[in-house]
Amino acid sequence: MRSLLILFPLVGLANLAVASESHGPPDSATFETTVKPFLARSCTTCHGSRLKTASLDLEAYATPASVAQDAGTWEKVVAKLRRHDMPPVGLPRPDEAEIKAVTEWIEAELEQAALHAAPDPGRVTARRLNRTEYNNTVRDLLGVDIRPADDFPQDDSGYGFDNNGDVLSLSPVLMEKYLAAAEKIARTALFGAGPLKPSLARVQARTGKIQPSPTPLHDYDVTGLSLPNALHATHRFPVDGEYLLRVLLGGFRPLGSEPIQVGVWIDGRSRCWTSTRWAGRPSSWTGRTCSASSRSSARR
């Protein structure tokens, strides 16, 4: 029995040093001797219990703990004071030293509250692999290129992407497919691919329509691969072997004209050539077959 070794990449975390202005622990006495008198002289006339301008009552914050509990409001207060938006124009403006002392105490109080608060990292999405990522991961880790995810349900898309973790759901049907794929992958990785049964695959050309050419071409690619009428399609051959190719053509051509030459190429190499035969009417068509060998992979 062959042993399997799966290596998990190690993620290194680098320490990022961010230079920022830090304040020392706030002094509770400063709140009583400096902050509250400042608010009473410059702020609570409008933002007090009587007027509550902008729905703000600064008199309700009677202790340092009450300031720390409403960080959003006091961050706005600091921004207004530093931009000199408050007190408004026309009212006495406090000294810069007094504004600096008040804003620094508020910031220090908010910093201490943030340090002791319970961390909130936010919601982390449990992301799963989409079908393409699943196939590539199985192939890279185990060397099994059987594309098991091709049998999975179609992936959901969000904002134009099918690898968005917030929209990649895990339905009961997909879980059943996961379990079946796991058994198949493990069996193939340990004992190799089992014998394949003959199967039929229909490949539709992307262009879908042959454009008419009213004037004959005198200088062109003799292979026909670069002509506008060339039809290209991609098919994945699961294993090396002999394959039977059948080409079906349809269209109109004048009576008595020469048979159309049809060539089958795989990855730029000619595999077989044949001529069409017309049965009864100019608009009828028949299928021609030829055999070709190919190695396992996607071929065009």
Q: Which string of DSSP letters, residue by residue, matches 152-191?
A: SPPPP-BTTBS--TTT----HHHHHHHHHHHHHHHHHHHH
pLDDT at 10: 31
Judge whether 205 lies within some domain.
Answer: yes
Judge whether 263 lies within some domain.
Answer: yes
Sign of the alpha-carbon torsion through 201, 205, 209, 215: negative
Q: Are 173 and 219 part of one and the same domain? A: no
Q: In whole angstroms, what is the distance from residue 247 CA to residue 268 CA? A: 17
pLDDT at 154: 93
Q: Are 215 and 249 part of one and the same domain? A: yes
The residue ranges of the chain whose pLDDT is under 50 are: 1-20, 278-289
pLDDT at 287: 41
pLDDT at 203: 76
Tell me whether strands 269-275 and 297-299 are parallel, antiparallel or unpaired.
unpaired
Judge whether 121 lies within some domain.
Answer: no
Judge whether 83 lies within some domain.
Answer: yes
pLDDT at 229: 64
pLDDT at 8: 34
0.85 exceeded by the pTM?
A: no
Residue 175 belongs to what domain range? 131-191
Q: Are 187 and 200 part of one and the same domain? A: no
Q: Which helix (H) or strand (E) holds 81?
A: helix 71-82
pLDDT at 263: 73
Q: In whole angstroms, what is the distance from residue 179 CA to residue 175 CA? A: 6
Give the model confidence (pLDDT) of 46-57 as tens digits: 999 999 999 999
pLDDT at 52: 92
Judge whether 6 lies within some domain.
Answer: no
Beta-carbon-side half-sphere exposure of residue 247 (alpha carbons within 13 Å): 22
